Structure 1
Amino acid sequence: MENVVTDAPPPSRFSPDDLDNFAAPPPQPTPILVVSPANPSPAPGLLILLISPTSLALLPHLSSSPPLHASLLLPELPLERSHPPIRVYLHEGALLAAAHGAVPAHRARAVARSLVSALQPEEVLVLDAVLSGSYRGRLAADEPVEGKLETRAARMRGGVSAARGVATLAPPGSMVDGLGAAVMAECEMRGKAASMVLTWPEGARPVEFGVMRRVAAELGVDPAQAAVGRVSGRAELDALYT
């Protein structure tokens, strides 16, 4: 009779390469938020996160180039990249966080945590877009639509900033993911008031949406002059880096 304690175990049915698939992945480095020494933290009342091409189209039309407050870096990205994924600007007491580069999906949670914990805004407004593959064909291709999702704290306040006049998105389905969704989850856990406004189509002009017109009014921008084509590839935002 075999002794299960002292006898040698049978050979594994898995090769060493297969066993590596069950190992925990190496920990990812923490994102780094580098704050400009010339612009110390202002303890902002509002953080506006610009993710969609429609919202980013407003930046080049600001009356004056906003001073850079901070840059968020991902240590694993090549250093030769021309610009960090996210830059945070100061504009009349508010912070504008512009997603100039794509944030990998598996890093969205860490980036959201770094932004919210380091900047400590009282309210957060996320401007994102519905991707064409995320709404299962329920939206007309050329009909502008906007809707919002809110944290519990935002609903208790009646909304956040320019999102107060936007109807609640229904049904939310599975169309929200990436950095915007991660920021909303982080704000919900921290009890912060946050609203995320999603617009459709992804490349529509800012003037077609009420929320963009209200945000443009707060920033002193004429939304009729902002065209999404000007931020295609985000190359024309280089003027803000000087």
Structure 2
Amino acid sequence: MEDVLTELPPPSRFFQEDLDNFATPSPPLSSPSLLFSNPKPDQPLCPSLLIIALSSPSLYIFHHISSKTLIGSLVLPEIPFSGNSTEPSLGDKSCNIYALNDMDNLTLVVLVQCSISAERSSAVAKLLIGDQIIPKRVLIMDSVQSQNFRGKLAPDETYVFKLETSAERKGLDGDVCGGSSLLKGLDYFPSGSVLDGLAAALLARCQMRKIRGTLCVSWPRYGVYVVAMVKSLLQRNVLPGFDLSTIGDGKDKSSRFTSIKNYPLDSDMYT
């Protein structure tokens, strides 16, 4: 006679997705929002250049630029503030907005130091390039994901590629931004390779709004040499009026900024 207490139950006739229909759905997340230090800023902000740093090298470089002013933050309800330091730090999970101290032009820099899911990328892109921030030109800085790259990426080689919107390629609004490409002489991202996530959503947003937008991706995702290359690129083409020579290339202990993205750390690279 079978023991009903110890016998294994028969397999369920339902698929897992069918069983999920009986579970209580999770409450929807609140929409992300922009919070400015000035309660009533002169909105909309119309920077001549909006730089959005997503990659570890770009985050490291802009974090160490002293001539910048914190003017606001992007608030995501799913990202807790607990564990963040009182002063901006590379280890924080935050998304701060800075104004570079440039007397001639308004340049905004957004340091995205938290992971943003693909489902939230479109909403975040609409906030950063929307009704409250209307940039004339946009530069997005991200890293190449090896699984999305068509070809072989050597770990000891350094690469930088770009993608541009139609307006940037055609040199529209030449009277405002200049007719030349922002990243002159840089190779285009190889055909057949894929970009996704927030970087792709931001570039698509620029394309929809006919904004001169450039996406710059670098490889490897971290390391001394890629920091030096990105810094040289910014100094030569993007921020010629700023002295970036005082920013190190990540050889000191504080350069372990890879923890922002939870990347694996090769300790030999920083010694």
TM bucket by the smaller chain?
0.7 to 0.9
Equivalent residue number for residue 151 of structure 1: 165
Tell me the amino acid that sits aligned with residue 103 of structure 1: I
Contact 2:150/2:192 (8 A) holds in 1: no
Q: Secondary structure at the match of 1:146?
A: strand
Which runs of structure 2 are paired with 1:31-50 in the superposition (5 Å)? 31-37=32-38, 40-41=41-42, 42-50=45-53
Equivalent residue number for residue 126 of structure 1: 140
**CA displacement at 1:100 relative to structure 2:** 1.5
Contact 2:48/2:135 (8 A) holds in 1: yes
Q: Secondary structure at the match of 1:225?
A: coil
Greater relative contact order (CA < 8 Å, ≥ 6 in sequence) = 1
**CA displacement at 1:134 relative to structure 2:** 2.4
Tell me the amino acid that sits aligned with residue 124 of structure 2: V
Equivalent residue number for residue 62 of structure 1: 65
Distance 1:125 1:183 in 2: 10
Distance 1:60 1:119 in 2: 21
| RMSD, aligned α-carbons | 3.0
Equivalent residue number for residue 186 of structure 1: 205
- 1:71 pairs with one of 70, 73, 82: 73
Equivalent residue number for residue 264 of structure 2: none
Tell me the amino acid that sits aligned with residue 119 of structure 2: H
Tell me the amino acid that sits aligned with residue 97 of structure 1: V
Q: CA 1:48/1:183 → structure 2, altered by over 3 Å: closer, same or farther?
A: same
Contact 1:49/1:96 (8 A) holds in 2: yes
Are 1:85 and 2:99 an aligned pair? no
- 1:164 pairs with one of 163, 184, 192: 184
Distance 1:116 1:78 in 2: 24
Q: Secondary structure at the match of 1:55?
A: helix
Q: Please list the CA deviations of residues 166-217 of structure 1 after superposition, one character each: whole Å capped at 9, or x if unmatched.
A: 221122522x111111100111111111000111111133222452443464
**CA displacement at 1:78 relative to structure 2:** 3.3
Tell me the amino acid that sits aligned with residue 148 of structure 1: K
Q: Secondary structure at the match of 1:173?
A: coil
TM-score (norm 1): 0.77
Equivalent residue number for residue 10 of structure 1: none
Q: Please list the CA deviations of residues 109-157 of structure 1 after superposition, one character each: whole Å capped at 9, or x if unmatched.
A: 1101111002111110001110233225522221111111111111111
User: Which ranges of 4 or more aligned residues in structure 1 deviate by more than 6 Å?
Assistant: 13-17, 22-26
Contact 1:207/1:213 (8 A) holds in 2: no
Equivalent residue number for residue 7 of structure 1: none
Q: Secondary structure at the match of 1:191?
A: coil
**Which ranges of structure 1 fall in alignment gaps of 5 or more residues?**
1-12, 235-242
Q: CA 1:192/1:22 → structure 2, altered by over 3 Å: closer, same or farther?
A: farther
Contact 2:49/2:138 (8 A) holds in 1: yes
**CA displacement at 1:165 relative to structure 2:** 3.1
Contact 1:159/1:195 (8 A) holds in 2: no
Contact 1:145/1:201 (8 A) holds in 2: yes
Q: What number of residue pairs does the alignment pair up?
A: 219
Contact 1:152/1:193 (8 A) holds in 2: yes
Contact 2:31/2:77 (8 A) holds in 1: yes
Distance 2:107 2:37 in 1: 16
Tell me the amino acid that sits aligned with residue 86 of structure 1: C
Tell me the amino acid that sits aligned with residue 130 of structure 1: V
Contact 1:150/1:195 (8 A) holds in 2: yes
Q: Please list the CA deviations of residues 35-61 of structure 1 after superposition, one character each: whole Å capped at 9, or x if unmatched.
A: 111793542110001110111111243
